[in-house]
Structure 1
Amino acid sequence: MAGHETHHTLPRPEFDKPVKLLIVVAPYYKDIADNLVAGAKAEIEAVGGTWDVAFVPGALEVPTAIGIADRRSNFDGYVALGCVIRGETTHYETVCNDSSRALQLMGLQGLCIGNGILTVETRKQAEVRADVTGQNKGGGAAAAALHLIALGRKWGASSKGVGFKPPSESYQIAGDKNGPSTA
C-alpha cells in the first residue's frame, strides 16, 4: 500500500516577502475537502503565508476558478483541492483527466499551482490521503505551490503589471557581425 512507502520531502521554502495563495476547493465530499483545506492552510501558515478560499461545485471548475483569479487578482500561487471517487461510468476518467490537464497547462504558462485533487477508487483511500495526520495531501499540494513560488522568485521578478519588461543588459542588432553591444 502506498501509504506505507517512504519518500523524500523537500524542506519548507523560506520567503523574504509575504506570500498569498488562493485555495480553490470542490467540496463535493465535504469531510474529505475539509481535511484537505486544513492541511493546506497549516502548510501555508507554517511559512508565514496567507490564504483565501474559494469554493466551486466540482473538480472540473477548479481550473476555471484559478484562471479567473489569476486574471483578476494578485495571488502568488494556487492550491487545487477536491476529490473524485471512481463510480460506475466513464465520467470519472473525464473529470480526472480534464481537471489535471487544465491545471498542468496553466502551470506550464507560469502559474504556481499545487494539485491536491484526489483521484481514488474508494472513499477509504480518499480519507487516508486527506487525513492531516496521515498522508496530508492538502498540505502536500500547498507545499508544491510554495516551492514553485520560491523558484519563481529565485529566477526572476514578477512579470505581472503594466508596461514593458526592462531591456536586458546587452542586445544584438539583427545582422550585426560584432556580437552583442552593452547598454
Structure 2
Amino acid sequence: MASTETHHILPDPEFIRPVKLLVVVAPYYKDVTDLMLAGARAKAAACRADLEVIEVPGALEIPPAVAIAEALSNFDGYVALGCVIRGETTHYDTVCNDSSHGLMLLGLQGACIGNAILTVENMAQAVVRADPAGQDKGGAAVAAALHLIALSRRWADARKGIGFRAPEGASRA
C-alpha cells in the first residue's frame, strides 16, 4: 500500500556559483502542469536557482526543446514537466516511451535533466503526483536536475588519462 511506503530523499545540494535551469512545460493538461510548475518554482527558490520557463505543444516536443537549448544556450540543467494520461489508443505508449527515451539519451550525453513527465491512468493520479502538497513531482524534478548539476560541477575539472600517463613529478626524458 502506497501510504505506508517510506522513501529516502537526498538533501538539496548547495552551490557556490549560480545555477540556471530551463523548465520545459507541455501544458496539454494545464491544471496539472501549473501545479508541477508551482512545485518546481518553490524548490528552485529554496535552492537559489534561477528558472526560465518555456512551453511546447506536447510531451514529444520536450526532448527536442531541451536538445536545442543544450546546443544553443548556457543553461546548467533542464526540467521536463508534462502529463500523459492513458487513453483508448496506443498513442499513450508512444508518447510515454519516446519522450522518456529522448530525455534519457540527452542525459546520457551529459545534459542534467529532471524528468517530471507524468504517465498516469487518470486525472486523479495526475493531481496527487503534481500537487506541491502531495507528491510534488515538479519540485522533485528540480531537485533531480540540481543533483546532476552538482555532480557535473564536482567532476568538471577531473581529467581521465588516455593511455599511459607518467606519475606526477616523474622525469620526462
- Aligned identity (percent) is 63
Ranges in structure 1 where 5+ consecutive residues have no aligned partner: 159-167, 174-178
Map 1:154-165; keep pairs closer than 5 Å.
Answer: 154-157=154-157
Aligned to 2:87, what secondary structure does the other structure show?
coil
Count of residues paired in the alignment: 169
Map 1:45-84; keep pairs closer than 5 Å.
Answer: 45-84=45-84
CA drift of 1:2 comes to 3.1
Is the CA contact (8 Å cut-off) linking 1:3 and 1:135 kept in structure 2?
A: no
Aligned to 1:75, what secondary structure does the other structure show?
coil
Cα deviation 1:68-121 (Å, max 9, x = unaligned): 111111000000000000000000000000000000010000000000000000
TM-score scaled by structure 2?
0.91
Is the CA contact (8 Å cut-off) linking 1:62 and 1:80 kept in structure 2?
A: yes
Q: Which amino acid aligns with 1:94?
A: T
Q: Which amino acid aligns with 1:19?
A: V
RMSD after superposition:
2.1
TM-score scaled by structure 1?
0.86
Are residues 22 and 157 of structure 1, via their aligned partners in 2, closer, same or farther at CA, if it must alter by over 3 Å? farther
* Structure-2 separation of matches of 1:143 and 1:169: 28
Alignment of 1:38 onto 2:38: yes
* Structure-1 separation of matches of 2:99 and 2:112: 16
Ranges in structure 2 where 5+ consecutive residues have no aligned partner: none
Cα deviation 1:11-70 (Å, max 9, x = unaligned): 000000000000000000000000111111111111111000010000000000000111
Aligned position for 2:93: 93
